[in-house]
Amino acid sequence: MKRFETRNAHFDRLVNTPGLKWLGQNTNHIPAHPAVIDAMVACARDEQFHVYAPPAGLEALRAGIVADVGLPAQAALVSDGAVASLYHVCHTLLRAGDEFITTDPTWNWPMAFARSVGATVTQIPIYGAEYNYRLDPARLAAAITPRTKMIYIVDPNNPLGVACTKAEIEEVAKIARTAGAWLVHDCTYRDFAHEHHLAASIYPERTITIYSFSKWLGLAGLRVGAIIADPEVLEQLAAAPPNNLGSSILSQRAALAGLAIKAEWFPQVLDITRRNQAMIYEALPRVEGLSMPVYPSNGNFIVIECSASGVQPEALAAAYGERGIMIRQGAYHTPNFGDRFVKVSTSVPQVWVEEFLELLPAMMERARGINLDTPLF
């Protein structure tokens, strides 16, 4: 069987496993606000799905997204999720021979998109105490070449949970401007950050802000997000988008309802997420060889460093998999540092995290005896 078939079949099994505890995808499993469900039910009941949505998205949603991030001079193009936004941006703005720069770890798909159009990819390592687990802008400046066409910053970083300070993002924006490069600021996890600063407010002309409804609102399976950019840039991106017949009307109705209840609902999600993080942080010192290099995390996930324990991340993920709990092995994010960590999502019911922690000593033991031919997603 082809590798993607094996991975897909494995993932299909997970999706169809009743009661699986999703602690590996940074998805949000806090019960949705009733208004979001009602919006979808109304959309289905009134059979609104017979029509195509407007190509750039429902106007109310486009305005809502721009207002949500607070970039009034910019415009939004609704997409089938942040990953589709990134695909579209890479395919429209990159050419063969261009250079795409990002961190290691980063979110991997945009690197694949860049390579698929013939661009080269440069990664700046940031995993490790020697880097303080973050991108020092001076190291970005040193990596720039005449071919640098796009800088991709995941902020907050997935998987590390670090977020750029105001000074750092100002510096990154300055470097991008000097290089004449596109700055793709992936803000998928922005709402979970303790502090977050938009590059677009510093370098509006060529920053592309990537927006997602998957994480803060928990709509991962509905596929809705956006590209936010200067109206001129958006004109270019709107010329041949992959979803030029509009994104799902059902998803857009849900997203719109989500924006309306965000102020009331999201603080509870954040509170649960941060309490779950704290619980893990407090429990880890009781397990030999485990630590949390970044705390607090600015995402809805945390990284657990396990290299000192001698346990392989894949084995630990497989051990949890046997108990119906999905966590993410580091290699999903980075071949260079993937043997050092696992990632655990925290925007989940507290009882899931309690179970994760209760099982941890036993899972470490189990992991030591695991034969690693178990497929992982």
- Residue 13: CB atoms within 10 Å: 12
User: What number of CA atoms fall less than 13 Å from residue 304's CA on the CB side?
Assistant: 35
Distance CA 246, CA 248 (A): 7
Residue 61 burial (C-beta neighbours within 10 Å; 0-12, 13-18, 19+) = buried
What's the closest the beta carbon of residue 322 comes to ligand PLP, in angstroms?
Answer: 24
Assess 298 for contact with ligand PLP (CB under 6 A).
Answer: no
Angstrom CA distances, 227 to 208, 223, 224, 234, 252, stand at 7, 13, 11, 8, 14
30, 89, 111, 154: which one binds ligand PLP (CB under 6 A): 154
Q: What's phi and psi for 176, nearest 5 deg?
A: -65, -45
User: Which residue from 209, 214, 297, 346 is in contact with ligand PLP, where contact means CB under 6 A?
Assistant: 214
Residues touching ligand PLP, count (CB under 6 A): 13
Binding characters for ligand PLP, 176-195, by CB under 6 A (x = yes) = ----------x-x-------
**Of residues 26 and 207, the one with the C-beta less far from ligand PLP:** 26
Residue 260, token pair as written in the block = 């309306």
Of 104, 135, 119, the residue nearest 182 (C-alpha)? 119
Give 319 or 344: the residue with its C-beta nearer to ligand PLP: 344
Closest approach, Cβ 212 to ligand PLP, in A, equals 3
Q: Which is nearer to ligand PLP, 121 or 319 (CB)?
A: 121
Q: How far is the CB of 300 from ligand PLP (least distance, A)?
A: 10
* Residue 128 tokens, joined: 């490790």
Q: Is 300 among the residues that bind ligand PLP (CB under 6 A)?
A: no
- Based on the shown chain and the rule CB under 6 A, indicate whether residue 26 belongs to the binding site for ligand PLP: yes
Query: What are the helix (H) ranges across 244-307?
Result: 249-283
Confirm or reject binding of residue 247 to ligand PLP (CB under 6 A). no
Residue showing tokens 């440069």: 122
Q: Which two tokens stand for residue 220?
A: 């991962």
Range 57-116, binding ligand PLP (CB under 6 A): 81-83, 107
* Residue 209 binds ligand PLP (CB under 6 A): no
Token pair recorded at residue 1: 């069987």
Contacting positions for ligand PLP (CB under 6 A) = 26, 81-83, 107, 154, 158, 186, 188, 212, 214, 220, 225
